[in-house]
Amino acid sequence: MKIAFFSTKIYDREFFDRYNTAHEIIYFEAPLNEQTVKLAKGCKAICAFVNDKITAAVIVALKDNGVELIALRSAGFNNVDIAAAKANGIVVVRVPAYSPHAVAEHAVALILTLNRKTHKAYNRVREGNFSLDRLTGFDLYGKTVGVIGTGKIGQVFCAIMQGFGCKVLAFDVIANKQLESTGVQYLPLIDIFQAADIISLHCPLNEQTRHFINKQTIAMMKEGVMLINTSRGALVDTPTVIDGLKTRRIGYLGLDVYEQEETLFFNDLSENIIQDEDIMRLLSFPNVLITSHQGFFTQEALAEIAKTTLANVDEFETGKIIKNIVV
């Protein structure tokens, strides 16, 4: 099958070329949007990533160009107008799990870096500054961690934090009995916010969770809480988090995702004048650490994304039951 790949980087090509034996892939660096959708002409499928905005207008244009399948090389599908895909008879597939360990471990990397300030120590020591001033951290052992969303990634994250000797509290719309048996305690959100030293978000973005971290929820949190978001940027209302940092209610902020990330992340903008005031304000805080959506970025995850995406296309092409269908 001829597939147009959007928003591709060198590593996408490397991993897809390694595992593709059957399909004709055309790689585009451009994101998928109303201007670029015509690049898909003549392709039966397109492959898109997290920041490709697949709106109703894009879907209608894809259909007009003969596209029948949207193969997402991501787990989240909040960037696709699912109702429009259904109405236009376009099948959407995704990669529901490629490495929950990759994302959970990255959340832990953010916690450890923010806490022990290894990013600052690295620069200091390289410049001959061996002082420990202002590098004080805290023991993770004995601290309380609140986990919002205990699906595939949240579960792995819970286990890692238990390994540090943390008390793990969780909130999910469905409690996981097996996780409870390991000592994770499900509580109402308010109790978690009041008790947690660290809060980590592992739920999907949807209408219920959009701006889940807002003025009200921040007000419930412990003074000096560490907030970690490796899920989706819009779970967090950025201006209120900036206020929370200014009042020191939020003591540490670790983000791998950002609501307006599509104009920034995955690109080298080091010579550009960045116009996004919120991200520039966030970057000005000494207790904020931002990575550009790299939670998924491990060898294992990239291999799994390529293999599963190609298997999804194979299943669609051969008329088999599509395991990873969204709609």
Which residues are annotated as catalytic? 232, 261, 293
Decide whether 6 or 67 has the Cβ nearer to ligand NAI.
6
C-alpha to C-alpha distance for 205 and 209, rounded to whole angstroms? 6
Decide whether 231 or 324 has the Cβ nearer to ligand NAI.
231
DSSP state of 35: T
4 is a site residue for ligand NAI (CB under 6 A): no
Which CA distances in Å does 2 have to 22, 31, 48, 169? 10, 18, 14, 47
94 is a site residue for ligand NAI (CB under 6 A): no
C-alpha to C-alpha distance for 265 and 295, rounded to whole angstroms? 13
C-alpha to C-alpha distance for 71 and 314, rounded to whole angstroms? 11
Q: Is 117 left (phi over 0), alpha (psi -120 to 50) or beta?
A: left
Closest distance to ligand NAI from the beta carbon of 212 (Å) = 7
Decide whether 8 or 231 has the Cβ nearer to ligand NAI.
231
Instruction: Dump strand ranges (E) for the chain.
Output: 2-5, 24-27, 45-48, 69-72, 91-93, 144-148, 167-171, 185-186, 198-201, 225-229, 250-255, 288-290
153 is a site residue for ligand NAI (CB under 6 A): yes
Total Cβ atoms within 10 A of residue 298: 17
Decide whether 146 or 251 has the Cβ nearer to ligand NAI.
146
Decide whether 152 or 249 has the Cβ nearer to ligand NAI.
152
Decide whether 40 or 259 has the Cβ nearer to ligand NAI.
259
Closest distance to ligand NAI from the beta carbon of 222 (Å) = 19
Closest distance to ligand NAI from the beta carbon of 325 (Å) = 15
Residues 10-28, buried b or exposed e (16+ Cβ, 10 A)?
eebeebbeeebeebebbbb
Closest distance to ligand NAI from the beta carbon of 202 (Å) = 5
236 is a site residue for ligand NAI (CB under 6 A): no
75 is a site residue for ligand NAI (CB under 6 A): yes
Residues 187-206 that bind ligand NAI (CB under 6 A): 202-205
By the 8 A CB rule, do 309 and 73 touch?
yes
76 is a site residue for ligand NAI (CB under 6 A): yes
One of 36, 230, 308, 324 touching ligand NAI (CB under 6 A) = 230
- Which of 241, 326, 287 lies closest to 138, judged by CA? 287
Instruction: Dump strand ranges (E) for 50-119.
Output: 69-72, 91-93
Residue 304, CB-side half-sphere exposure with 13 Å CA sphere:
17
One of 5, 15, 16, 171 touching ligand NAI (CB under 6 A) = 171
One of 131, 178, 208, 216 touching ligand NAI (CB under 6 A) = 208
| Chain positions contacting ligand NAI, by CB under 6 A | 75-76, 97, 100, 103, 148-154, 171-174, 202-205, 208-209, 230-232, 256-257, 293, 295-296
